[in-house]
Structure 1
């Protein structure tokens, strides 16, 4: 059973955020999750994002915990 996406966002909001961001990887992740909100499969989202299903799952977990900011690459500490 896939992890559901948080309910305080929808596909059109994620697409709008993807258009506004200057972070390419975040935009790609937002668009992949927007496809899931539209009823697409996780496999289709993985294709959009150019990643595996496990990576899409990781994005969902980060997005659910931190919102769109969770999809920005962080610099490693140190």
Structure 2
């Protein structure tokens, strides 16, 4: 439910969104929003397409010194 609408229904006070936003910011609150999702997204489909991280770094094998470089 919209916060401005809730204030109206609860207290019969009309407050614009801009005023509500300004007052909430002054009290230290921030607007949070959810990440958008496609309307036809199948639950669990994301797990199938997630990239798998490569294993951590491995130590390189020791270099072989060729007899020509000595």
Q: State the TM bucket, normalised to the shorter chain.
A: under 0.3
Q: Which has the higher helix share?
A: 1
Larger RCO (CA under 8 A, 6+ residues apart): 1
TM-score by length of 2: 0.25
